[in-house]
Amino acid sequence: MKLFKKQISLDFDGTPWDLEPELFVIHQILEKRDDIILLAKSCFPKAKNESCTVVGRDGMTLEQIIRSAIFKQHRRLTFKELSRTTLDSAICKSFLKMPYGRHFSAQTLQENIATISVDALLAIQTAIALSAITFGVDDGKKIRTDSTVIKTNIHHPTNASLLYDCVQTAGILLGKCKALKPGLRCRSYRKGSKSLLFKIVNTKGPRAKEKRLPLYKKLLKHTISCENQVAEVIDILACYTFNDCSREKQREKLLPKLTDLLSKMQQVQNVAYRREILDESVPVAEKIFSIFEDHTDCIVKGGREVLFGHKVNFSAGVSNFIFDCIIERGNPADTSYFPKTIDNLRENLRIVPESIAGDGAYASIANRDYAHSKNIKNIVFNKIRGTLQNIASSKNMETRLKKWRAGMEAVISNFKRGLKAGVCNWKGWEAFQKFVLWNMLTFNLRVIGHSLINQLA
């Protein structure tokens, strides 16, 4: 079975690929385009041999690392589930090119996949997008764009819950320090702080704010006491060296964690004091929404629910293939994404779309004029304000582009729900970007696979 003038051949090898033909097409694309895999070679400078066949921990090849990440996102698996699947799934073994009787642990998979950098993933995405154009899946001449919020894996932040998080985390780390060096004196405030948190949360009524005030004062005292203990332990451990190698390694691991926690505790305590005791209005830039995921931003889109995560801007074509993805810190206005999208398409993929459509949040005279200066013929926003007018070859074209743009919301919904990509459970800002990009790569490969299968039907 062959596709697109001998560009891709489908050769069934005894594996039950008919159960997942879409995955089989992805397998064939990666098989024929091994240059895509090699784009991540620079992430493994200390390869186990000169040919760079084996690059990762426990003998994983570069191709297996890339394929395992794609398979994981495609099947919406955790690393533990992926590890079990490598043991007992014939399709998984064939897709990952694993010999019979071999499997990888969850830790091995996680460490190797985490080694792939953001730059490498962007380069792979560009190569896949060029492949989609080559295969005739999409030409990028018609683009629709919209932004969404991908949440970080945190609880809803309140001043009381953040203070308790600080006390609880400090108690855990100080307990480890005490076990490491028994002479340390560390008092735990976790039980009292938890009781205060419970009272604050359940204090309601017309005078709730007044009743919470003394509770917040006590909770702040506990937090400050923990801060002082953490600062003292940092000074002690910084000047102390263990003769035992294993204990010394533990000290070296605990010290940066305590230092990082102390700065976050001071920030949380300062914001809570100003907000709850002094009744000040604290700017968002000075707040921290999680001591575990401190990169989390507060995102407000219109009058909708406040979300905690990061805003991501997607741009897709007629086939729903996502050509561009912008991930930024803060809560930038959607209008700022419009010229960046056009520039990214031009610089990375050499695409100058004939038509581009966005919702009212992108609408501005500056954006319309910028797109027009880049030789884009049809520039349509769903809602226009003031003297702004859409540019379209006809009224019918404008109406059609407005209706077509609404489908971008379905693309985002499919991306977030179909791949479980609505909440990032990977830790850290860089890991957040990798999480989005891995899901985008998988989504795009699925779009290519679905398109090629439809053309065979």
How many residues appear in the chain?
A: 457
Residue written as token pair 């019979």: 100
- For the stretch 40-68, pLDDT in tens is 988 887 655 444 466 766 688 899 999 99
pLDDT tens-digit series, residues 357-391: 999 999 999 999 999 999 999 999 998 888 899 99
Q: What is the domain partition of the chain in residue ranges? A: 2-117, 139-154+295-425, 159-286
* Long-range contacts of 234-243, Cβ-Cβ distance < 8 Å, separation of 24 or more: 234/258, 234/259, 234/262, 236/181, 236/184, 237/177, 237/181, 240/181, 242/180
Q: How many CA atoms lie within 13 A of 230 on its CB side?
A: 28
Q: Report the pLDDT value the prediction gives residue 121, as an integer from 0 to 100.
A: 96
Could you count the other beta carbons within 10 Å of the beta carbon of residue 45? 8
- Give the torsion sign (CA, 161, 163, 169, 171): negative
Q: Is the dihedral of CA 418, 422, 426, 431 positive or negative?
A: positive
What is the C-alpha to C-alpha distance for residues 210 and 202, in angstroms, rounded to an integer?
A: 13
pLDDT tens for the chain, residues 1 to 457:
444 444 554 444 556 777 888 899 999 999 888 889 989 988 887 655 444 466 766 688 899 999 999 999 999 999 999 999 998 888 999 999 888 888 899 999 999 999 999 999 999 999 999 999 999 999 999 999 999 999 999 999 999 999 999 999 999 999 999 988 888 888 889 999 999 999 999 999 888 999 999 999 999 999 999 999 999 999 999 888 888 888 889 999 999 999 999 999 999 999 999 999 999 999 999 999 999 999 999 998 777 789 999 999 999 999 999 999 999 999 999 999 999 999 999 999 999 999 999 999 999 999 999 999 999 999 999 988 888 999 999 999 999 999 999 999 999 999 999 999 999 999 999 999 999 999 999 999 999 999 998 887 6
Stretch (H or E) spanning 379? strand 378-381
132-137: Cβ within 8 A, 24+ apart: 132/319, 132/321, 132/444, 132/447, 132/448, 133/349, 133/351, 134/7, 135/3, 135/4, 135/7, 135/8, 135/448, 135/451, 135/452, 136/4, 137/319, 137/321, 137/447, 137/448, 137/451, 137/452
What pTM was computed for the model? 0.91
Classify domain 139-154+295-425 by CATH architecture: 2-Layer Sandwich (3.30)
Token pair 């937090």: residue: 223
Phi-psi region of 200 (alpha: psi -120 to 50; beta: other; left: phi over 0): alpha
Concatenating the DSSP letter of every residue in 82-140 gives: HHHHHHH-HHHHHHHTPPTT----HHHHHHHHHHS-HHHHHHHHHHHHHHHHHTTS--S
Cβ contacts of residue 35 below 8 Å, gap of 6+? 127
Are 74 and 26 contacting, i.e. CB atoms less than 8 angstroms apart? yes
How many CB atoms sit inside 10 A of residue 256's CB?
10
User: For residue 15, what pLDDT is reported?
Assistant: 67
How far apart CA 146 and CA 111 sit, in angstroms, is 33
